């Protein structure tokens, strides 16, 4: 089986979805005025974090002028600012900000990924695009399987996309568990190994954070619960 670094490299050259390829490259060419002097990544964005992570955080897809610009998950936009501030506060990141690749940020026992690797128009991938991308996440979690003990999913879309992926290694009950902020389900392993703790959290979108639907204390509480289930030490 490919090492995780090799899988990440393959992800960056994927062109399976014509609509997403056209959009991500158009955004990278036209750019936002504030970033006109920067070279955009404009490709699929691989996961970020150590290959022996015990906690995985699953989002939705790269932001057009965030990860699609910087090439790293949740880096360079306000959603990432909110997420990494919380991760740093609970001890899962070495610094509270993520501005660009090479800014010194490291994740502690945690890997961040997404079910869709390319920035979609209006942040809305189609079901077909989600399904096209599914094998990448399946392989990624299979490679993390020896150490992975908990998964935190951000948002209902990510939750629905993650459940079929998790079913490749763990037993997902039927009916499938419903998404909710603070939802927690323990999934037995298919191979008789350690179970997986699955947590839900509202997405760190500006729509949620600006309106107060998701606050820093709410996010930090769920992060601590997921990290504890994964066997990671946290900061109170």
**φ, ψ dihedrals at 125, nearest 5°:** -70, 150
Across the chain, which has 236 residues, the per-10-residue mean pLDDT values are 92 98 98 96 98 98 98 97 98 98 98 98 95 97 96 97 95 96 97 94 97 98 98 94
- 91: left (phi > 0), else alpha (psi -120 to 50), else beta? left
Give me the residue spans of the domains in the chain.
Answer: 4-9+17-230
Angle between helix 156-166 and helix 127-144 axes, rounded to 10 deg:
60
| Alpha carbons 41 and 29: distance in angstroms, whole number | 10
Enter the DSSP assignment of 169.
T
Q: Which two tokens stand for residue 61?
A: 């897809």
* CA-to-CA separations, 48 to 67, 98, 206, in angstroms, rounded: 11, 12, 21
Tell me which residue has tokens 């900061």.
235
**φ, ψ dihedrals at 107, nearest 5°:** -100, 145
Answer whether CATH 3.40.470.10 is correct for domain 4-9+17-230: yes
């Amino acid at each position: 089986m490919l090492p995780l670094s090799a899988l990440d490299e393959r992800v960056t050259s994927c062109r399976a979805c014509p609509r997403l390829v056209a959009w991500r490259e158009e955004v990278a060419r036209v750019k936002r005025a504030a970033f006109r002097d920067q070279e955009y990544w404009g490709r699929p964005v691989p996961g970020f974090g150590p290959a022996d992570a015990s906690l995985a955080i699953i989002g939705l897809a790269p932001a057009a002028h965030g990860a699609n610009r910087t090439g790293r998950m949740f880096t360079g936009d306000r959603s990432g600012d909110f997420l990494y501030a919380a991760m740093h506060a609970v001890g899962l990141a070495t610094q509270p900000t993520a501005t660009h690749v090479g800014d010194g940020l490291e994740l502690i026992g945690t890997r961040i990924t997404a079910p869709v690797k390319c920035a979609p128009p209006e942040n809305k991938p189609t079901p077909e695009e989600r399904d096209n991308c599914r094998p990448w996440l399946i392989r990624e979690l299979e490679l993390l399987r020896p150490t992975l003990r908990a998964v935190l999913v951000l948002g209902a879309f990510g939750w629905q996309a993650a459940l079929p992926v998790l079913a490749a290694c763990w037993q997902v009950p039927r009916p499938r568990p419903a998404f909710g902020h603070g939802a927690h389900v323990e999934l037995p392993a298919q191979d008789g190994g350690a179970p997986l703790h699955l947590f839900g959290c509202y997405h760190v979108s500006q729509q949620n954070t600006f309106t107060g639907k998701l606050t820093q204390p709410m996010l930090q509480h769920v992060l601590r619960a997921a990290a504890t289930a994964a066997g990671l030490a946290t900061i109170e």
